[in-house]
Structure 1
Amino acid sequence: MDKNAFFEGCGKEGPIRCIFFCEFHPTTGPKISVQVPADFISKDTFEAVSVYLITKAQLLRSTLTVTFSGIKILGYPVRIENKKYPRNAYHFNICFVCDAWARTAQYETVVKKLSEFLILPYIDSMNHVAKIAALADVENNLVRTCLQNLVYYGVISMVPIFQYSNCYAVTSKLKKLAHDKKLQDDCLRAVSRSSWQLPNFRDIFRLYCSMNHGTTVKDLCLRFNLQAMKVDERKLVQFGLVEKNHQKDPQVENRWNRLKQLFPSFQYPTIVMEGLTGEAVSLYPYFTGGFNVDEICCRLGMSTLHLETLVEKDHNVTVVYR
């Protein structure tokens, strides 16, 4: 790589090197509360630029870029006024750190939305979009837009909702895990129940190899003692989905759909369940093979168990694992 090709203002996009959350402490003043990776921004560096990150009223709620010592910090300072806070106000800033030469204009909207909508504390690998919206008291559409921006810039990854009734099947990318030592170390730390007792990689690989169509996470937990293996099943599934070691995509199809294609005037059978509004609705329009179980449940506000019960009772419906 030609390092001379990179200079401030060259217009090239660069990766996000660090994300940190800073705030004004009523006793100690400005400080970094959380940063990933840890200690990327030193105490001396932060003290040199903190006046621009935890700033005066004139610069609040505006996008600020600070270039210092080879790095560029992009932030959006916010102050929340409320009597419950010391000094009747809470100052904070969520910042992205890039190389000094990197173009950062594309991240400005993301930083602003993270600070304005305050969804970052609720992105914890467990909460789904609707729950994040409820916890942050923000509309679903705004949260969805924020998350889409974060996914686009590689800040987060989105995976299907974890459920013990889910089935997964390994992909060809699992072989990379068998040979990549760094990926193995990352996997051990990611799926472990505790940070001081890591599981055996052989156990983890055996669990991944045991995932196939028709075998649910519940079946896997009953077959293996994951607690004794020091493996967290939720983290195991999430790591596999992020690294694309396995995939989940059960589709639901029905025989009436063929009639609908041949005869557009054909009406689906009615009254299968009560919808979110209390009105009777039919599930058959969703049984086309184009909707997976999670999508149907989210659209109709029903549990997976309820949907599975309805599907099992209807001989016209078939679940297809792809």
Structure 2
Amino acid sequence: MATGKLECIFFSEFHPTAGHKITYQVVRCENDAIPVSSVRVLNQIAQCWMISKVPEEYVSRELFDTLHVYIITKPELQNRLITINALGHKIIGCPVSIQNVKYSRNALLFNLCFVCNASMDTAPYEPLVKKLANYLLTLELESGFLSNEKSKERLPSILADLLSQLNSNGKCSIPINESNTIHLKIVPPTKDPPAVLEHHVPMFLTDKNAFDSSQWDLTSQQILPYIDGVNHVQRIATEADVDINLVKICLQNMLYYGVITIVPIFQYSNVYITQPDINRLVEDEALREECIKYVTRNEMASPATLRSIIHLYGSLRSDISVKDLCLRFDPRSLNIDERHLIQFGVIRGLIKRLHQYPVRVLDGGEQHRTHQQPLDRYMNGHFNFDEICCKTGQSHQELEDYVENDANIYVLWK
């Protein structure tokens, strides 16, 4: 779904004699840089400049007549967000009804709607429509803003300001009277954080001592001491004596707010490969300085050199483990902490861990083999070594021996 701009805002109501109608409608000009006062106000006289390219209306009378039952609605749909996708338009509204004997037919029915292109993602605008409906409801209850024709005549300019400011700045602040101002801001929807699994290793992105843990919930406070970039989720749950599902929920919440990130379990048997972003170490001075500071083992000695860091990263290949790297180049003699070197590379996207996924390929004589071994259920190419070890309690070496001793198990690296 594409994200775009509002094409139109209109105010509709149920008129005691005319029935369902669009009372005011403002349409976006083709040139977004045109001033607010140049937004075309239809069905009402208003100031407007440079309007030659503005269409006569965006929501036609014919379209409105087709859809009005979803705009000025029956009681069952009132005070609810309604999105209509029809004939190339997407209309978002929140129909409102105020019951009072002072109104004709004992009720005031209205709806302020946003109109977008049919392919647009309208989720960021839905809270704004709901909030605007509540603003107008409050203004009517406090001062009769909508039922008073004189005050209602201010709506076209208010809608024009809304349309222009939201499209230009993504927010607006429009004074209505001495005591009421409309404040709106478009907040893009955030994606749900990825699932947290037993073998994942949570790691704080900043110093955890900088956080005021007293503001956190009790479960988060309980697991906080065990989040060190080394312990995986299952070990954290065991050490903290907290149900693993609660630990996952807490960590997922921290992921959502950008407090932690997830890295693979660090083992010297791990294999990594470089990524295209490795070039950023040369191009980005801030990243370069951050890397040197993070991987330097002894701060009292001379810091690690960029040349040594790039040489170590560049030596990572699919046939070289971290153990091989350390035996060949001895990072500690270069004042480099190999664990920090790997962690920094993973977090910043400079390197990528290659995981091992075992898969059993049955030959003709094993087609009817029953899965009697506890590990057999994981030999399908869907589980990596880290995941299997956490789920079964096997050590990495035990799992590796099991795989090597079975000629029908192959390992996929990815």
Scaled by the length of structure 1, the TM-score of the pair is 0.61
Structure 2 residue corresponding to 1:267, chosen from 369, 380, 387 = 369
Aligned to 2:308: 203
RMSD: 3.4
Cα distance change on mapping 1:11 and 1:227 into 2, 3 Å: same
Structure 2 residue corresponding to 1:93, chosen from 205, 214, 226 = 214
Q: Does the 8 A contact of 2:269 with 2:323 survive in 1? A: yes
Q: Does the 8 A contact of 1:178 with 1:184 survive in 2? A: yes
Question: For each residue in 1:135-183, what CA deviation from the matched residue of structure 2 results, as whole angstroms up to 9, or x when unmatched?
Answer: 3221111111111111122111011110111111112221222311111
- Structure 2 CA distance for aligned equivalents of residues 20 and 247 of structure 1: 24
How far off its partner does 1:128 sit? 1.4
How far off its partner does 1:19 sit? 8.6
How far off its partner does 1:123 sit? 1.3
Q: Which amino acid aligns with 1:93?
A: S
How far off its partner does 1:2 sit? 6.2
Cα distance change on mapping 1:114 and 1:193 into 2, 3 Å: farther
Aligned to 1:296: 388
Aligned to 1:213: 318
Q: Indicate the percent of aligned positions where both proteins have the same amino acid.
A: 37
Q: Does the 8 A contact of 1:268 with 1:284 survive in 2? A: no
Aligned to 1:40: none
Cα distance change on mapping 1:301 and 1:121 into 2, 3 Å: same
Cα distance change on mapping 1:5 and 1:19 into 2, 3 Å: farther
- Structure 1 CA distance for aligned equivalents of residues 317 and 362 of structure 2: 29
Task: Determine whether 1:320 maps to 2:412.
Answer: yes
Secondary structure of 1:158's counterpart equals strand
Q: Does the 8 A contact of 1:251 with 1:321 survive in 2? A: yes
Cα distance change on mapping 1:226 and 1:257 into 2, 3 Å: farther
Secondary structure of 1:169's counterpart equals strand
Structure 1: segments with no counterpart, 5+ residues: 22-33, 37-74, 76-91, 95-110, 272-280
Aligned to 2:210: 35
- Structure 1 CA distance for aligned equivalents of residues 255 and 261 of structure 2: 6
Secondary structure of 2:333's counterpart equals coil
Q: Which amino acid aligns with 2:392?
A: L
Structure 2: segments with no counterpart, 5+ residues: 1-167, 174-182, 189-204
Q: Which amino acid aligns with 1:154?
A: G
Aligned length: 223
Matches within 5 A, 1:139-288: 139-197=243-301, 198-248=303-353, 249-256=355-362, 266-268=368-370, 270-271=372-373, 281=374, 283-288=375-380
Q: Does the 8 A contact of 1:257 with 1:288 survive in 2? A: no
Question: For each residue in 1:247-300, what CA deviation from the matched residue of structure 2 results, as whole angstroms up to 9, or x when unmatched?
Answer: 12222122129999xx7xx434534xxxxxxxxx2x232122221110111111
- Structure 1 CA distance for aligned equivalents of residues 365 and 337 of structure 2: 45
